[in-house]
Structure 1
Amino acid sequence: MHLTRFRINTARLGGRSLLASPQRMHAAVMASFAGALPTSRGEAGDSRVLWRLDRNAKAEALLYIVSEERPDLTHLVEQAGWPTTATWDTYDYGGFLRRLETGSTWAFRLTANPVHHIRRKDGEPTKRTAHVTPRHQMGWLLDRQEAAGFRILPTPPERRRLPQGDEFQLTVRDERRHRFEKTDGRSDRRTKVPLVTVTFDGRLEVTEPVALARTLLSGLGKAKAYGCGLMTLAKAG
């Protein structure tokens, strides 16, 4: 398994075009793999590939990719990078995952599509709907932590700024709303699809290394083709 990092040149038209569209970014990511053949509808797709955009500053946008196959990002360097001075970094991810230990603590980041299913009227089918408040978005992640192999660390009482609302070392930021067209697989009809994404930052403790490794490789939640689901860990400072 591989973890790849690529910095996007936000001053280039190609970079800004990719940053503006999860669909275009997905296509560019999948074009990095010789083995990812287009589907019958002309769109490349592979559930084994996860990607995420981190917008750390106006001029700093980082693309992270987790994949089984080693990617070749030459086309991204030419379109949205620095062709003469910078490329990309790819690391062995499998070795890192095998070293995860129960009880170890990490800082983490996750961009996700927190959704739930609701029924507006009796007798109607349920409809997938995005959570739109930070409290419910945090609840979405907290509900999944046990099965995903980790627990989000509580905030020590002396560091809590509010009587309630900051019980966990977890923040939600950078909510983004997209709306794009998607082809219905059964009728070939193109429909408008809304997508709400948020980024979680926090600290966690590993409770089940195998389950957490599976989460880091398979992703968490829906909309993985559009930059959601990829969680990364860093040393907790």
Structure 2
Amino acid sequence: MTSLTRIVPDPHHTAVRADLADVDSLHKTLMRLVPDHIGPTPRATAGLLFRTEPGPDTALLVQTAHTPDLAALPTHYGTARTIDLTPLLNALTPGRTMRYRITAAPTVARSAGNPTRHPVTGKRRGKITHLTGDDAIAWWQRRATAAGLEPVTVSSLPRPFPRTHLARSAPYFTLTQFDGLARITDTTHLTHALKNGIGRAKSYGAGLLSLAPA
């Protein structure tokens, strides 16, 4: 059962302040919601995707492959409500128009100027370049199409990528929030994208695709 949990954290809680300032800390807190010892790629195995929702009161949207263990959150962390996404997934049909939102990390791998070759294939490793503006929108249109969506409207908004001095060694990503309307073209690809996320930086609050009836 794929679940979506909306957490409204208490901004006065010490753990909440630490999590909202550092995505590494937030990721570690949210991983407490899923079972331990589930293999070498626990986030992917647990289907954990999350996004920080802007607004007067910050909210966290957290998606998991199973019902999350909310009791594992720090005491008095905030209020939370979990819903089963199965009805939404079952209602996906080609031609239906949906509202969408995703905060993603648009990137492209460019080999020019990168002399490093893959040790097995011998091909040059692509240098990861972050995309913004029209390039980011074009990236989303390509990824949406591959995910079984035909974008009808697209709006984009740069989103911050909070870090602290404690996480200098971790990669930095440029995040963009995309909103709009899209028509469903392929339910199999769309279901896969909904459950597994889109793009890079899934451990850093990117990749969670949300849909709602238009």
Q: Corresponding residue for 1:107?
A: 99
Amino acid across the alignment from 1:231: L
Structure 2 residue matching 1:213: 3-state secondary structure:
helix
Checking the alignment, whether the CA contact within 8 Å between 1:9 and 1:61 is kept in structure 2 is: no
In 2, Cα distance between the equivalents of 1:127 and 1:181?
Answer: 25
Where structure 1 has 5 or more consecutive residues not aligned to the other structure, the ranges are: 82-86, 154-168, 184-189
Equivalence for 2:126: 126
Contact 1:177 1:194 in 2 (8 A): yes
**C-alpha contact 1:182 1:192 (8 A) present in aligned 2:** no
The 5 A counterparts of 1:95-174 are 95-121=87-113, 123-124=115-116, 125-131=125-131, 133-153=132-152, 169-174=153-158
Q: Structure 2: which 5+ runs fail to align?
A: 117-124
| Deviates further, 205-214 or 171-180 | 171-180
User: Pick from 62, 65, 70: which aligns with 2:67?
Assistant: 70
Following the alignment from structure 1 to structure 2, what is the Cα–Cα distance between the partners of residues 141 and 22?
Answer: 23
The structure with the larger Rg is 1
Q: Could you tell me which amino acid in structure 2 is paired with residue 66 of structure 1?
A: Q
**Larger strand share, 1 or 2:** 1
The normalised TM-score by structure 1 is 0.76
Confirm or deny: 8 A CA contact 2:197 2:207 kept in the other structure: yes
Contact 2:114–2:126 at 8 Å: present in 1 too?
no
- The aligned length equals 203
Aligned counterpart for 1:89 among listed residues 74, 81, 90:
81
Q: Determine the C-alpha separation between the residues in 1 that align with 2:206 and 2:37.
A: 21
Per the alignment, residue 197 of structure 1 pairs with: 175
Give CA-to-partner distance per residue, 1:109-139, whole Å, 9 cap, x none: 10111111124526454211211x3111101
Give distance in 1, aligned partners of 2:166 and 2:109: 20
Kindly indicate which of the two structures has a greater share of residues assigned to helix: 2
Q: Percent identity?
A: 27
TM-score of the two chains, using structure 2 as the length reference:
0.84
SS in 2 for 1:135: helix
Q: Is the 8 A contact 1:180 1:194 kept in 2?
A: no
